[in-house]
Structure 1
């Protein structure tokens, strides 16, 4: 491991001591410097060698590291050990967008156990933001470093080619067992991968005919999606756009998209008959469903393997137990894939609570209440448009949300706003509050959908606005018109 001392050139001498794996590159040092000094919202660091091989550099060698354009560096120059060779070797690091300057000095090379190859902060003092030489929270710094390292690993894994052949072969084996003949779609199975501290919930589709396959939900992040399917009546028409799940679908040949068919063909496979062709999808709220990436494929391989075992157990006589709401049988899985035990998992689910996310000053509140109250009745809703738009920030197409305000009765559109981001309570409140501020009068009532009413209630209470839950016939008519318009007209 490489032990580096990094010190701010300001007074007092605020510093950090970091341990890095010997094969570390300057891009890692760049990130560690910013993370350990809580400057991770900065862009990048330039490094200038001032002492190398124990000697002061006559021509200070500059290492310009640009994360988006590192063509100035070859692979040898990027390695820290090619520059920091002897104790005392130094460089100056300059944070480009803040002009903060740091001295980076090699303390030593440290021999640690073979499993100690993660970058860590081992000491330090002072806050770069306040300039005070106070104690620092080493644990918090290392949590930031670990989170960034995990992010780098995930980015790397997602760039790898998924093992679709294994996934297709396993899905075909599951299809032959026809799990929908043994499990209803509401008989949810929990799979507990204990060693990885992951739990997923699996719903088998097909007992009632129609769609056949699996829906897979991550317990920590996706249970809200599953709970809505199981327990809510009259789901909104755009519910599928807010879904978080992985799916395995057995469909007809003509239901496949060209890319799905090409994937099967590239793997040297083919299928015959109805509901025999295999399709995989990754659903992420507010985005177009895509084919699963490397990490998701690895998870689906594990899930399908386990569901094959569970289906065999069900065929051999295991009965789905009598369970209460939010209670499910869980199968614990060993590292070798063997099912270890079955237990009941009871999830504690609380009703979501909302607050007023808009910062409304006393002056703004008074100005709004000065407006004359009228008989005006409005309809307001927030919904996803059924087509995707490209965004630079993601490799998926994003479904834009529309916030719309309509005069009830005349269906006159008073305002509409299209935003490319997920539907959230703060967004619902923000758009409505902007509309209300723009009106010359206060409406007597605002009719809203069942979904957004609880989101808006805290804002309505502060403003003294009456919300009425409704089917919104006016918005339904306008929405149908908007959904048939070309996106570029917006």
Structure 2
């Protein structure tokens, strides 16, 4: 562990002593300082190294923990810069007057959990400047709940045996006989104020299992499934969810089968083999990590309780759209009374995200207008590529401009990023600037039309909603192409 003394530059009596695991990044230190001094509403830090290897640094070494400079600062390690007792750095809060001195006190093996950051001492309130007594237990509870700190746990071995055994118990109850996939329930873990939405698959006799959606990041995915009549063909690439699936033996990946064997388990019959998946937008679905398995254990356990309650007579209430019965889980694990939660869905609003100057606008409108009709779309490619920034395979998005009728691909570009309104506008604007003429119409999908309308209004472009038959045909052809051939 690394022991750091961190004090306010404005008032040195206000300080914290932190223990960080070896190989901790400056990004983690950034998060821990914010939590330790109750600055979680602030921006991130600018770190300046002032003393290194016991000597004052001759050059000013200054970087941000999450910027995009020459240093890959998201991965820069504290113990590679602060190496000797007394080495120092200065942390300046971005857009804030607060600054802190960070001093390395010791660097040795300590008899404690080497995976968990902890605040071991401190004094003073940074907000009032007073020497109030601080609550170490509260600070460490915040650190323990913080996403950055919890990411350390992802390297621990998930408890798949417990999850498999619980999921097998759920399977025996056949929850799809009691709940349809549109009879979604919310499980509210009251002690951490965290909510998930759960849909039971299998009432139609085809796919069996659970889909679990995080309230904040996954509800858009669930809402599309429940309320949109037609979903785009690449919808699964934009899914944010955890799934529990009961499948046939031949549907298992070899790794899934090996996991079941390693746990000393086996199943027989159709739709009896258990598979788990974690879906993140724009990425290949993977087996859940440690934290996701912990969540699944809690969710599956509660779904057993809810299914048994349904068998004992609880009826799914009649609710309006975006309303769901909510089961509240208390700290002792008991389910409290049900209440109806209404999720407010604001109508999305879009603006022109491109900074188009009067000169650029005039230059575009001077191009001769032609009868050219084009189709434009932004979609996920059906193959993945390796990314240096994540341990998952990424599905790149493709922007494509196709001449309607001839199916000639006029422009195309690949991007390793999610599909967003600014990207949709930016790609189209770049394509239009490369054309010699102005098209008479641009056909776009139902999904993209409202995103592109602000840009189209500024440029005087007519957008027409379409199923995009030409792009659909090109995409079918692309399914049999290799990534290298497409890039060429």
TM-score by length of 2: 0.79
Judging changes above 3 Å, is the alpha-carbon distance between structure 1 residues 439 and 93 closer, same or farther for their aligned structure 2 residues?
same
Find 2:158's aligned residue among 162, 176, 184.
162
Aligned-partner Cα distance in 1 for 2:25–2:481: 50
Measured against aligned partners, the alpha-carbon deviations of 1:140-169 in whole angstroms (never above 9, x if no partner) come to xx99xx789824422211111110000000
Match of 1:87 in 2: none
Match of 1:40 in 2: 45
Quote the offset at 1:40 in angstroms: 3.1
Residue 371 of structure 2 is aligned to residue 399 of structure 1: no
Partner-residue secondary structure (3-state), 2:156: coil
Alignment RMSD (CA, Å)? 3.4
Aligned-partner Cα distance in 1 for 2:12–2:453: 48
Match of 2:307 in 1: 311
Judging changes above 3 Å, is the alpha-carbon distance between structure 1 residues 411 and 358 closer, same or farther for their aligned structure 2 residues?
same
Match of 1:454 in 2: 450
Conserved? CA contact 2:24–2:79, under 8 Å: no
Quote the offset at 1:18 in angstroms: 5.3
Match of 1:369 in 2: 365
Aligned-partner Cα distance in 2 for 1:355–1:427: 12
Aligned-partner Cα distance in 2 for 1:181–1:188: 14
Match of 1:204 in 2: 200
Q: What does residue range 246-285 of structure 1 map to in structure 2 within 5 Å?
A: 246-285=242-281
Match of 2:283 in 1: 287
Aligned-partner Cα distance in 2 for 1:271–1:25: 41
Q: What does residue range 413-452 of structure 1 map to in structure 2 within 5 Å?
A: 413-452=409-448
Measured against aligned partners, the alpha-carbon deviations of 1:11-60 in whole angstroms (never above 9, x if no partner) come to xxx67665334645797796359979977355877535479xxxxxxxxx
Q: Which has the larger radius of gyration?
A: 1
Judging changes above 3 Å, is the alpha-carbon distance between structure 1 residues 39 and 198 closer, same or farther for their aligned structure 2 residues?
closer
Match of 2:114 in 1: none
Residue 327 of structure 2 is aligned to residue 331 of structure 1: yes
Find 2:465's aligned residue among 460, 463, 469.
469
Quote the offset at 1:117 in angstroms: 3.3
Aligned-partner Cα distance in 2 for 1:153–1:22: 13
Partner-residue secondary structure (3-state), 1:173: helix
Conserved? CA contact 1:449–1:472, under 8 Å: yes
Residue 155 of structure 2 is aligned to residue 150 of structure 1: no
Aligned-partner Cα distance in 2 for 1:93–1:433: 44
Judging changes above 3 Å, is the alpha-carbon distance between structure 1 residues 280 and 165 closer, same or farther for their aligned structure 2 residues?
same
Q: What does residue range 48-127 of structure 1 map to in structure 2 within 5 Å?
A: 48-49=53-54, 83=85, 91-93=87-89, 117=119, 122=124
Quote the offset at 1:2 in angstroms: 7.7
Match of 1:302 in 2: 298
Measured against aligned partners, the alpha-carbon deviations of 1:153-203 in whole angstroms (never above 9, x if no partner) come to 222111111100000000000000000000000000111111110011000
Aligned-partner Cα distance in 2 for 1:408–1:327: 42
Residue 186 of structure 2 is aligned to residue 190 of structure 1: yes
Find 2:214's aligned residue among 209, 212, 218.
218
Conserved? CA contact 1:3–1:20, under 8 Å: yes
Find 1:19's aligned residue among 2, 7, 15.
15
TM-score by length of 1: 0.79
Judging changes above 3 Å, is the alpha-carbon distance between structure 1 residues 45 and 39 closer, same or farther for their aligned structure 2 residues?
farther
Quote the offset at 1:422 in angstroms: 0.9
Judging changes above 3 Å, is the alpha-carbon distance between structure 1 residues 6 and 48 closer, same or farther for their aligned structure 2 residues?
farther
Residue 390 of structure 2 is aligned to residue 388 of structure 1: no
Quote the offset at 1:476 in angstroms: 1.1
Measured against aligned partners, the alpha-carbon deviations of 1:324-375 in whole angstroms (never above 9, x if no partner) come to 0000111111123211111111111112111111111111111111111111
Aligned-partner Cα distance in 2 for 1:292–1:407: 42
Conserved? CA contact 1:191–1:332, under 8 Å: yes
Match of 1:243 in 2: 239
Aligned-partner Cα distance in 1 for 2:320–2:330: 27
Judging changes above 3 Å, is the alpha-carbon distance between structure 1 residues 123 and 17 closer, same or farther for their aligned structure 2 residues?
farther
Aligned-partner Cα distance in 2 for 1:201–1:455: 27
Judging changes above 3 Å, is the alpha-carbon distance between structure 1 residues 303 and 375 closer, same or farther for their aligned structure 2 residues?
same
Measured against aligned partners, the alpha-carbon deviations of 1:375-419 in whole angstroms (never above 9, x if no partner) come to 111000011111111000001100011100011111111100011
Aligned-partner Cα distance in 2 for 1:442–1:29: 50
Judging changes above 3 Å, is the alpha-carbon distance between structure 1 residues 149 and 256 closer, same or farther for their aligned structure 2 residues?
closer
Structure 2 stretches lacking a partner, 5+ long: 57-72, 92-98, 106-117, 128-137
Partner-residue secondary structure (3-state), 2:259: helix
